[in-house]
A and B are shown apart, each in its own frame.
Chain A
Amino acid sequence: MPTAPHRLPERVRRMRSPPAPRAVAMLPLPPGLRRRLREGPPPPPAPPRAPPAPPAPPAPPFAFTPRRLRLGLHHPLLEDGDVHRHLYLQGVLTSLAEVAEGPKVSEFSCHISGCCQVFDTLEGYEHHYNTLHRNVCSFCKRSFPSARLLDVHILEWHDSLFQIMAEKQNMYKCLVEGCVEKFKSSKDRKDHLVTAHLYPADFRFDRPRKAKSGPWHVSSPAKDGASVPMDVSQETSEQFQVDPMETGPSENMEIPRPPASPGPTTPEKWFYKSSSSMNRLNVAGPSADPWGTPLATSLQPDSVPLIPTL
């Protein structure tokens, strides 16, 4: 069983020669030419003699002078090469050879404690691991798509020093790579993301930190101890709005959320099984939604534990 998903096998690609033999091109090249390539670089050029006198301009009607040609993107000389390149892009040239697949493995399961996902390809496992286990916050167990977003989360959600400093200076970093702007509040940052970077207003990885007493809060222990909600968002409805498509990591768990958004909703009833983090037997993965949106927990009035945890 793989222990760490670091060096998963690369897909091997090889160019294959077409099967039919071709006539070799007939250029009368001197023998031994290829050997000259393998010789070392030429000796440094001899010190320049006096430069030759510039040649007289050609007498008309003759006009030739040597000229380096600079050809633009659309020059006719480049047409055939461009067409060939695009045939390749369109997959018309792909060779018929198959790629050597990675080593076959028999079924195996994720080794993270509590996670029971099973895989039959290394790629499937890799994707699962990266989605759920790789960039996980050690405080609240939420997972993030990148180390960077995880760092931002830890700073803003679990660092009391951050909260203190945020009172005096702009501490909320823009989430877009390459942008160095900082803001005094989560809301200001969101406004910047929307106006300057054309991000969607409901960008999933920019959920503002929720107050602990909210009904949606995960009951897992959080070490930060900061119970003061530093960022009470004005748009509470937006805060608790979650995408109706949110799912937990386990297939056994459904999320019973009445969609708070006024968007088109479906009339299905949401059903619900226990997602208590105590219950690990049928549940795969952490009980917190990976993108920082807490799942409903046993605080829900109609929770039905799958397995009694007494």
Chain B
Amino acid sequence: MWGRRGRWAGPGGAEELRARRREREAALRRARRQEQLVSKRLLREDSAAAEGGRDGAETVPDPLSEDEVLELLRGMQRGSEDRKRSLSRLRRALQNKDTQQKFVRLDGSIRTLVGLFTSSLADVQMEAARCLHELSHSSDPAVAEACLPATSYLLTYLSGHSVEFTELCLYTLGNLVVESEAVRKQLLPQGIIPVLASCIQSPHEAVLEGLGYVLSQLLQAKEAPAEIVPLVLDSVLPQHMLRLVCSGLKAGTGAAVEFAWCLHYIVCSHTADAALLSLGALPALATLLLDLASETPPDAPEGLELLICPVLRCLSNLLAGDTGCQGQIRDERLLVALFLILQSFLQQHPFIVQEGLWLLNNLTDEPFFCSALLALDLLPALLQLLPCSPMAAALVLTVLCNIAEKGPALCQQLHQALPLLLPALALPDPQAVGQGLELLHLLFLHCPEVAADFIRQGGQRALEQHQSSPELQERARALLDLAGQPAGASTTGPCHGTVSAFP
């Protein structure tokens, strides 16, 4: 799937592609905010090229009439040459949603198709499988659910040995899985999990990637934490998934991507931490991050972020679990890897920044990583991430708070960062500014001289602009007090000895 069968829409099509992408992106965001984020995957040969069509341009065929669809069905029910030809024409016609709907409504159509799908003629079987796949990909639930009679066969064929056919069955199943809970309620008793558990020992990359896709769709289901994750954890799937994710740089990156997302969904179910940790997931994923960072050139190849993102998430969430696993990855090279990765993806995929900073927050809960970050001279790079996005700013400041909270020794080293913190107080995002105020509080607390410097650099005005903000005014006021400002300035406390003489 990785870059394969990409549809090249021709030289004039690039702008169209971009517009289509923007539309899709907007739709996906809307769907996600409603917690309805669902996508299907389509495996389609570049048929225009195969049929000698023009330049591979992607065109959806026009819908057929009821009679034409019926004619194709009759052709499929007759023998030999007619059957194959009709199937091929049907396959192409089924790219059109209207035709799909007409086909599934015809009496006996699915029964015929499933019959051909179980045929002993390999090429007939393959063509029928492609038709089923088109149907599975439909956004119309009536069409996709019409494929249900085929599921027991789809599962049976997964233990076959034909890579291309197995792959097609897998993607078809993956599309059906995500269609509705009713479909999953059929597939689970039909034994989909044990079949996938056998399948994961296949050596073929294409099969593994398809398998990962099916699993990722299963694991995203709403009922997954209760109904599906336990079955998966009970099988050999987790250890193989982990193995395939961690070897994904050398071979089978497409499969590694799928299984990494699977692991992310499993971790989010909150029931799997112990199982995954006992498999050594934390050190394994940490090592993978090191490998990813050292293999990634500064100009990262397109697609690696799809693997890095779920790995970052798994690490962060596993660290945040209740189990005391933090000691397993006390390795400063993890910070090196993280920053190298942030550098590589900063321009093209800024979402990696906030996700990486999330991991950094969870790491710097530990004093070890706080000291390491400073010792490795990564502070300037960290500060450079402040303007990336509001979420990034809030996280950077939180990480700095983590460091400052560890005591005076580290606060001293943050002192040099003071000039860069002042602009942070002017950020539009109140959450970020709030963290900035917390940071100042910690700095003032542990290092008296910071307060003086802060005021000297114009910090008073920066604080005063928040006096009317309900979220921030109390803290801004308290900081002004701490810094020994005239209005209600307190003269007690360890930090104030040198700041009393202020204009």
Contacts and interface: CB of A to CB of B under 8 A. Distances in A.
B198 interface: yes
Contact of B365 (A24, A63, A66, A128): A66
A86 interface: yes
B2 A10 contact: no
Interface stretch (A13-21, A219-227, A230-238): A13-21
Interface string B184-214: 0010011101110110000011100000000
Interface in B128-167: 149, 152-153, 156-157, 159-165
Interface stretch (A26-34, A165-173, A209-217): A26-34
Given A11-B205, A28-B384, A96 B120 contact: no
B40 interface: yes
Interface in B1-44: 1-8, 17, 20-21, 24-25, 28-29, 32-33, 35, 37, 39-42
Given A83-B29, A145-B157, A251-B80, A90 B6 contact: no
Interface string B478-502: 1000000000000000000000000
A254 B80 contact: yes
Contact of A77 (B162, B355, B380): B355
A126 B163 contact: yes
Contacts of B179: none
A27 B478 contact: no
B25 A87 contact: yes
A40 B305 CA distance: 26
28 contacts: A11-B4, A13-B2, A16-B3, A24-B298, A25-B346, A26-B346, A55-B407, A61-B475, A62-B438, A74-B35, A84-B349, A90-B39, A90-B41, A97-B6, A127-B123, A132-B120, A145-B159, A146-B159, A147-B159, A176-B194, A177-B194, A178-B195, A196-B189, A199-B152, A247-B121, A251-B121, A263-B111, A285-B120
B176 interface: no
Nearest to B80: A251
Contacts of B8: 96
B336 A266 contact: no
B120 A248 contact: yes
Nearest to A12: B205
Interface stretch (A153-161, A200-208, A298-306): A200-208
Interface of B: 1-8, 17, 20-21, 24-25, 28-29, 32-33, 35, 37, 39-42, 74, 77-81, 83, 107-108, 111-112, 115-116, 118-126, 149, 152-153, 156-157, 159-165, 186, 189-191, 193-195, 197-198, 204-206, 253-254, 261, 265, 268, 290, 293-294, 298-299, 301-306, 309, 313, 316-317, 319-321, 330-333, 336-337, 339-340, 342-352, 354-355, 358, 361-362, 364-365, 367-368, 376-378, 380-381, 384-385, 391, 401-402, 405, 407, 435, 437-439, 441-442, 474-475, 478
